[in-house]
Amino acid sequence: MAMASCEGCRICIYWWLINIIVMLCSFVVGSQCAAFNDFFYPSWALDHVMSQGDLLQLKLDHASGAGFASKSTYLFGKANVQIKLVPGDSAGTVTAFYMSSQGDQHDEFDYEFLGNTSGEPYVVQTNVYSKGVGNREQRIYLWFDPTANFHSYSFLWNRQQAVFFVDDVPIRVFSNNEKRGVPYPQTRPMGIFSSIWNADDWATQGGRVKTDWSHAPFLSTYKNFNIDACKYTTGSSCSSWWDQPAYASLNEKQSMQLKWVHEKYMIYDYCKDSVRFPTPPAECA
């Protein structure tokens, strides 16, 4: 009986250690487990960046929003995070997850989650900057409640295309159209960022619905960051799995998923905005 009891203790201790490791390893770089502070830092409003076990939260109140950033920059690869967005009446708030380089001619990939009044579907605005030129907004409704559970949001970036994924479903593709004279982000390494802030001058119904501060603080919650990308240093070749032909374009299933999202959930596409662009941008052809 004593031996069986001791064996049971060893099993309990083993599973306890496993659970502790899983809890601590909420950030993954490549195949390595890492702590948040090893790869990211609070970039502003440190007292509004909060850690709770394996979760990270950004807080917005009347005093401030908050943000964090990666310590390194990356050139090609995949970045993913699971986010639970601000619940309830989040009108006027914006939670952003994005990649960006520095300088006047910066490159950037954006997710901007636009808050809403309770019961309305969340709007996701995406944008792409290349050599400092943006104005490439697309907006979709999400097909689930992003405040009820965690969902994955990803960038896949290589020399042929940049793909935005929601739960592994592609919602946007920005292809390399340099042959048409469209600059493509492929020379400037980008950092990884996230933030929450008040944008009630435009975020909800074009700014008609303002932030109700009686619902503050507004919290966006994060877990399971995964970065499988080229950590850029001078002279880096930044070639790896993302250069394989399988990642040069969407496969048949992904193409069908993208079509489904655009047909059922897209509510704005800059390519179809003839008021802003009487001549469609070259990449829209």
Residues assigned a catalytic role: 108, 112
User: Can you tell me which residue has the tokens 């001549």?
Assistant: 279
List CB contacts of 239: < 8 A, sequence separation 6 or more: 230
Q: Residue 129's beta-bridge partner residues?
A: 108
Beta-bridge partners for 49:
58
Question: Alpha carbon of 165 to those of 48, 79, 156, 170, 178: distances in Å?
Answer: 28, 10, 8, 4, 23
**Do residues 138 and 228 touch, judged by C-beta distance below 8 A?**
no
In angstroms, the CA 97 to CA 195 distance is 7
Distance CA 143, CA 234 (A): 42
DSSP-derived letter for residue 133 is B
Helix, coil or strand: residue 251: coil
Residue 43: strand, helix, or coil: strand
Q: How many degrees, rounded to 5, is the angle at CA 101 between CA 66 and CA 207?
A: 50
Backbone angles phi, psi at 243, to 5 degrees: -85, -5
Rounded CA-CA distance 66/180 in Å is 39
User: Which one, of 225, 227, 212, lies nearest residue 86 by Cα?
Assistant: 212
CB contact at 8 A, 13 and 7: no
The beta-strand segments (E) located in 232-275 are 266-269
Backbone region of residue 11 per phi and psi (left: phi > 0; alpha: psi in -120 to 50; beta: other values): alpha
